[in-house]
Structure 1
Amino acid sequence: MIAYVTVGADDIARAKRFYNAMLPALGYSLKEGPEGLSYALPVEAGQRPVLPDFYVKPTFDGRPASAGNGAMVAFEALNQKQVRDLHAAALEAGGADEGQPGFRAAYGPSFYVGYLRDPQGNKIALFSSNPNEPGRDG
């Protein structure tokens, strides 16, 4: 099980604007501190944390943050409309389009996805595989 994902950022304020445009709508809450941004899903009293957490941090070695080649973080949305809405909100909040929301021939018929780059260049996917919505072939 993946416990957490961390991406580096040189400008935490820009990163916060970008991630706040979509992660709260997916149920994540933000804790901010001198070490950066920590997004987590809610936990009921007496329950184990819902993983993974998502962290946006300055680099530990002090060198500029960079996006991993081939690395991507994907967040699951409730439905196709939420993918479109959050993709648009993230673009408005400083992200760059890496692929408009829609179906991709290389993936299953119900996998609906949009791709972005955060202000640091990290690749982010927003997807839905909601079986109650029309698929690529329907």
Structure 2
Amino acid sequence: MTDIPPSILSHISLGTNRFERALAFYDQVLPTLGCQRLLAHPGAVAYGREFPEFWLQTPIDGQPATVGNGTHIGFIATSQAAVQAFYQAALAAGAQGDGEPGPRAEYGAPYYGCFVRDLDGHKIEAAFWDSTLE
């Protein structure tokens, strides 16, 4: 799959209790998927390729950010190599591995991905869908 598929979502936001540390993590990891900072506001930064798709912020209600059990964010990768680069960059930036890069038969033949826990404990994924394997 050479073209990035259209998303069904406008954007996703994750809360953090350590804003600057979280920004440093995502600044290091998201470029492996072709993403960069696009917008910044006090306490919030948006990343994306063309438009703000992923926001990192301190909670607007002033309460501590918490991790959602059973929740994870999946980023689209453009190749298996991008999935591997994402995983390595995330580990180098302090993430905990939660599923090494590779195929997962339960998701179907086209899937190749990995999972990590970011510095706040959020589960994030990079996934490549290879349409030549369908």
- TM-score, with length taken from structure 2: 0.84
**Structure 1 residue 85, shift from structure 2 partner:** 1.2
- 1:25 matched residue in structure 2: 32
Judge conservation of contact 1:6–1:55 (CA < 8 Å) in 2: yes
State the identity %. Answer: 34
Alignment RMSD (CA, Å): 1.7
- 1:40 matched residue in structure 2: 48
- 1:122 matched residue in structure 2: 122
Judge conservation of contact 1:17–1:94 (CA < 8 Å) in 2: no
Matches of 2:130 and 2:104 in 1, distance apart?
15
**Structure 1 residue 6, shift from structure 2 partner:** 0.3
Matches of 1:71 and 1:125 in 2, distance apart?
11
Matches of 1:32 and 1:131 in 2, distance apart?
35
Matches of 2:81 and 2:32 in 1, distance apart?
12
Judge conservation of contact 2:13–2:56 (CA < 8 Å) in 1: yes
Gaps of 5+ in 2: 1-7
Gaps of 5+ in 1: 43-48
Mapping for residues 59-98 of structure 1, pairs under 5 Å: 59-98=59-98
**Which amino acid letter does the alignment assign opposite residue 75 of structure 1?**
F
Q: Does 1:104 align with 2:107?
A: no
Judge conservation of contact 2:19–2:43 (CA < 8 Å) in 1: no
Matches of 2:97 and 2:32 in 1, distance apart?
19
How many residues are paired up? 125
